[in-house]
Amino acid sequence: MKTIVFECETITPLFMAGADVQKPELRSPSIKGVLRFWWRAMTYSDSPDNSFEELLQKEGESFGSTKKGVGRSKVSLVVRRNSRLETGSNVKDDYALSWRSENNRTLTGKDAGIGYLLYSVIVFGRGRKFFRHGQKFSVELKSHDPDTLKQACAAFWALVYFGGLGARSRRGGGNIGTTGVHGDLDVLKDGNEALEFIVKGSSSEEVKKWLVDNYSRAISIVNGGILTTPVTTYSSITDLRFILSKDSFQDWKGALNAIGSTFSKYRTTNKMDTFGTAAFGLPAKHVKTDNEMFERRASPLLIKLVKVESKYYWLVLWLSGEFLPQNVDLQNKGDRRKKSAPNYGKIAQFWDQVALDGVKYEP
């Protein structure tokens, strides 16, 4: 049995729970589910020999499936805590954040960017409880199969540096960092190089290079470094695109508020273009789809933070993947005759705007 343990810390408030959403809980099954998503995102391509069905088959063989003949997972994931983790009851009150809602339902105030990104767990969640930033825990991965363990570690790398955990993880909630890694580290070696988990860099350009170099190592572990077209059927980072902030920030609040304010202003300015902004995620107030099977669609844009020693950078990731199947259209809720195919025009416009304040990576 080979084991690798990642020492982790929460970077932003983490909203994760079981059946009782008001009882914060670090759940191993939930974390493993997110890890499986990132494994798929690094594995999938539209190449003829990599269908989505084959992707699910390979995933089941490594991480387990209820499908007949597949069997249990080859890798186990366990979350451990050395002490009680500090929790909060309401992000706005606990961190003394300041914003207010205007009559047109927009937020104003010095921390309005954070309020906009985390709105649903602060307002609609009536102050949902959470794990505070800076909480320490470990994630232990074990397997009898070194290759499966190596792939799980690569997926965990993507989870840490491109994703998050729990509610609002695509909008800056539940970001984590790794502060140490130990165990059978020889598993991670590939010749003279090894996948690194402690981010390095004294500038945004250096941090970007570290992210790209280790992304290349991680994706080579999982799928041999296969690249694909910018839009795939399933969410994917086999064609990586991200923007990292040029400037660093002293704390998570400053970093998240900066990118949140940019996002909020853009969405508010373009809110009348209901079809154009629908690609940022569904459900939306004035738009639905003409097929009820696709009423909920996750945003292809992920907003997160990367902590480098005591500095924080925001990062925007653009996932490849079709927003809706080709035979499904967007539909105006008030007038069903008004339809439109989804498009990425508004996302591309926002992307170009964000790039003015960041360093961009596109292959």
Provide the residue ranges of all domains of the chain, joining segments of one domain with +.
2-361
Check whether 210 has a pLDDT greater than 70.
yes
One-letter-per-residue 3-state SS of 64-80: CECCCCCECCCEEEEEE
- Name the 3-class secondary structure at 282: strand
**48 versus 193: which is more confidently predicted?**
193
pLDDT, residue 116, reads: 94
The DSSP annotation for 159-183 comes to HHHH---SBTTTBTTT-EEEEEEEE
Picking from 299, 268, 265, the residue whose alpha carbon sits closest to that of residue 281 is 299
| Structure tokens given for 248 | 């660093």
Strand ranges (E), 62-135:
75-80, 87-88, 100-101, 107-108, 130-131
Q: CB-based burial of residue 60 (10 Å sphere; 0-12 exposed, 13-18 middle, 19+ buried)?
A: middle
In this prediction, residues 53-59 reach a mean pLDDT of: 76
In this prediction, residues 220-240 reach a mean pLDDT of: 75
Check whether 166 has a pLDDT greater than 60.
yes
pLDDT, residue 311, reads: 98
pLDDT, residue 228, reads: 58
In this prediction, residues 195-208 reach a mean pLDDT of: 97
Partners of 167 in beta bridges? 15
The percent of residues above 70 in pLDDT, for the chain, comes to 92
Q: How many Cα atoms are found within 13 Å in the side-chain-facing hemisphere of 202?
A: 0
pLDDT, residue 104, reads: 62
Number of Cβ within a 10 Å radius of residue 65: 16
pLDDT, residue 331, reads: 84
Q: CA-to-CA distance for 228 and 217, rounded, in angstroms?
A: 17
Partners of 143 in beta bridges? 2, 75
Range name among 139-153, 167-181, 198-212, 217-231 with the lowest pLDDT average: 217-231
pLDDT, residue 70, reads: 58
75-132 pLDDT, tens digit each:
999 999 978 999 999 999 999 999 988 776 688 999 999 999 999 888 765 678 999 9
Range name among 2-16, 90-104, 158-172, 260-274 with the lowest pLDDT average: 90-104
Which distant-in-sequence residues (6+ apart) come within 8 Å of 343 by Cβ? 275, 276, 279
- Name the 3-class secondary structure at 152: helix
In this prediction, residues 276-291 reach a mean pLDDT of: 85
Which distant-in-sequence residues (6+ apart) come within 8 Å of 290 by Cβ? 328, 329, 330, 331, 336, 339
